[in-house]
Amino acid sequence: MKKIFYLIITFNLALIPLFGQPIKTVTYATKLATADMSAQNGDYYNAIDWFTQAYDESKDMNLQVAIADLYVRARDFKRAELGYSRILKRDKKKEYEDIRVAYGEVLKSQGKYAEALEQFNLILLNPEIDDSLKKAAEISKLGIESYEKYPQNLEVGIGFVKGKVNSGSAESAPVLGPDGKLYFSSFNSRKEVIIDGKEGDFHAKIYSATQNDKGDFDKTEKLNDLVNRAGFHHGGVAFSRDGRKMYFTRAKLLGNSIDESDIFYVVSKGTSWGSPTSVDALNGDFVNKHPFEGDLFGRQVIFFSSDRPGGIGGFDIYYSEINGDTYGTPVNLGPTVNTSKDDISPFYKDGALYFSTDGKAGLGGYDIFYSEWTGSNWTESSNMGFQYNSSYDDMFLRFNSDGRSGFLTSNRPSEGKPRMKGSETCCDDVYMVGIRDMVVSLRVEVSDENGRLDNVTVELYDLTQGGYPDTKTNPSSNDFSFPLDVDRRFKAVIIKDGYYPDSIQFNTNGIITDSMIFNNIVLRSKPPELDVQIVKINEAIRLNNIYYDLDKSDILPESEPDLSYLTDLMTKYPRMIIELSSHTDAQGSDGYNEKLSQRRSESAKQWLIRQGVEEQRIKAVGYGETVILNKCTNGVKCSDEEHMFNRRTEFKIIGGVESIEMKKEGYDGEATPTQPTSRNMQRTNPAAQQSQPAPAQAPKPAPAKPRERKRIKN
């Protein structure tokens, strides 16, 4: 049996190992057993494949719940959202109301705060829902409702670390060493590792990286074999205040769980490190991780995270007094810091303890908090706020000695970030933190003809640097603030469902002092009658968010919202029969393009079938390059954007009904040879981004008691 590792480190040195075996024709019971085994071993995507095969055979909705749960465990939030949404839309008997908590969490993880609030409120209003689920919903709801209270931190800049530090796998515990190098833990791999006897040494190791004159960490070096012992995973690197000791954790895994994890240290020998020493006073039959030195009561201590017996929650933060090479009895920091969930990655500087937790109200996932030491106790912890935190998981904040720069890790999407299995959010990467000497910011207030307009999304694009937008959705206010870099051009796009989008462009050229650029934006509402379009039989409707990787036919997460919308239409019009067609550009041979487009059409068809659409209602056709919509035929020189206009997936009604109603925001209408649509251009020109279609909302359910069933949980 092959053993596959998708190299994901979440919150520690921990790897999620994935065990797989070739998929072949087997019995239904064997499919379920293999899926269960794969899930237990951390092989989430292989488990999803097996559960999907089993669902295709039985149509058991419990398997769809398990699949969505597995996407959460893989931190593939887009696919998890679509999974939960489809289940709730089809749940006519209200048997799956309890999954609204998980659905709300994945919405929140993507910054979809208003949609998440709706799900949490439905849970809290349902008298049949378990109290533990209601408590989780209350905490998550409080995090969203506290949006206005979080510090804006407009002086803080967060940037994806360029060079050779970040990889397709995840990185953790970045810290600047006494030699000026960046130390961190990584699997240093851009793709999953298949354990088949040829995989070599795949374990997580500690690396150092040197920064060049341009600021990129372009040279990485693995630490010696005394530190990176063969057969173990290594992480949690940190240094003593005098720089003589380097702490780290060494772990073994059993399935997808840490079987053992102990804290070690090595002593500097000039240009190298000596042999590791186990901190026996701290280690035992439990998991220790994330050591970091500090001081309390005027004495040197070491902070660390542990799930040892007697704690408050999953992982708690402890400290132990250091006396030379002797370590005292660990002391729990208590309920002011620790929560009923996981409290991890402690960092101490100048009387403040910084750490991450998923047990307090926050922006989403793991947020970074801090608590100050008064000399006798810890103050109530506070959320670090924007920039440091996002709707994703944010951990391992470590400031450098100057207090104005440092590093953290996050799985937030970023330009240039490699994907693992198509997911932008599976894995943690290292980000650089910097405190600006000069604060330049954008402030936007949004209103309509009636006054203040809440629950708007603002996307800020850096037109000079390019890359992902800085996106904020404020569910309870119309006020937005963004930090800006100087000597840049920017575009802000303001979006709200039911309104025409608006945008502003500006620059920060020549600014030499603290400045704020203020704009009051008034959005115009759309007339209700313009939101619906009649689509007639044989009219080709272009689905402009159906994307494929080059030369591949796999459905990407970005494609699933449009296909989900098409699924809703097929449900609304149960007699409708469609042709689902795929088209390529003229690059490549005619025969190859025809086969590629056919595979893509079949892939989209199979996706719809998995959602319950009858196979006989879908005709999949691959037209290759036979229907070119512009001048870009064989031999004609065209830009990438012009070629991309021809790469499309369309559907048209070919039977069952003569016409249907579609929301205009769900598609761009019939494609024409001269006018590329706005949504089609988003992938190559983000600055031209316009309003995105809102996912269809599930009807508000009546309270119902969920039936017993197995869930895939973290």
β 618-624/193-195 pair status: unpaired
- Beta strands across the sheet bearing 541-543: 541-543, 648-655, 577-583, 618-624
Last residue of a domain, one of 435, 462, 483: 435
- Quick: pLDDT tens for 331-363: 999 999 999 999 999 999 999 999 999 999 999
650 beta partners: 542, 581
Owning domain of residue 590: 528-687
Report the pLDDT value the prediction gives residue 33, as an integer from 0 to 100.
93
CATH of the domain at 635: 3.30.1330.60
Q: Residue 155: what pLDDT?
A: 96
Q: Please report the pLDDT score of residue 682 as a whole number.
A: 34
Which H helix or E strand runs over 404? none
Based on the domain organization, do 171 and 134 belong to the same domain?
A: no
Q: Per-residue pLDDT tens for 141-177?
A: 999 999 999 999 999 999 999 889 998 788 999 999 9
Whole-angstrom Cα distance, residue 111 to residue 106? 9
Q: Are residues 574 and 474 in the same domain?
A: no
HSE-up (13 A, CA, CB side) for residue 82: 21
Residue 472: helix, strand or coil by DSSP?
strand
CA distance 633 to 631: 6
pTM for the model stands at 0.80
Rounded mean pLDDT, 26-49: 89
Q: Are residues 134 and 225 in the same domain?
A: no
Instruction: Tell me which H or E stretch contains 13.
Output: none
Instruction: Determine the Cα–Cα distance for residues 629 and 69; give it in Å rounded to an integer.
Output: 41
pLDDT computed for residue 112 by the predictor: 93
The answer to the question of residue 607 being in a domain is: yes
Does 702 map to a domain?
no
Q: Is residue 635 part of a domain?
A: yes
Tokens of 149: 């209270």
Partnered with residue 235 across adjacent β-strands are 249
In a domain, 464, yes or no: yes
Check which CATH number belongs to the domain holding 466 and give it.
2.60.40.1120
Residue 695 covered by a domain = no
Name the 3-class secondary structure at 243: coil
Is residue 369 located within the same domain as residue 410?
A: yes
| 567 and 450 within one domain | no
Residues 129 and 168 placed together within one structural domain of the fold: no
pLDDT at 203 over 70: yes
Return the percentage of the chain with pLDDT > 90, whole number: 59
Structural domain count of the chain: 4
Kindly report, residue by residue over 446-494, the tens digit of the pLDDT: 999 999 999 999 999 999 988 889 999 988 889 999 999 999 999 999 9
User: How many CA atoms lie less than 13 Å away from 123 in the CB half-sphere?
Assistant: 28
Question: In sequence order, what are the residues at sequence separation of 6 or more whose Cβ sits closer than 8 angstroms to the Cβ of residue 508?
Answer: 440, 484, 485, 486, 487, 488, 490, 515, 517
For residues 70 and 92, membership in a common domain is answered with: yes
Question: Span 549-553, mean pLDDT?
Answer: 62
For residue 181, the tally of other CB atoms under 10 A from its CB is: 18
Domain ends where: 414, 435, 456?
Answer: 435
pLDDT the model gives residue 192: 65
One domain, residues 20 and 131:
yes
In this structure, is residue 199 part of a structural domain?
A: yes
- The tokens describing 171, both together, are 């990185």
In a domain? residue 706: no
- Residue that finishes a domain, picked among 129, 149, 169: 149
Q: How many Å apart are CA 616 and CA 612, to the nearest integer?
A: 12
Residue 488 in tokens: 């840049």
Assign residue 170 the CATH number of its domain.
2.120.10.30
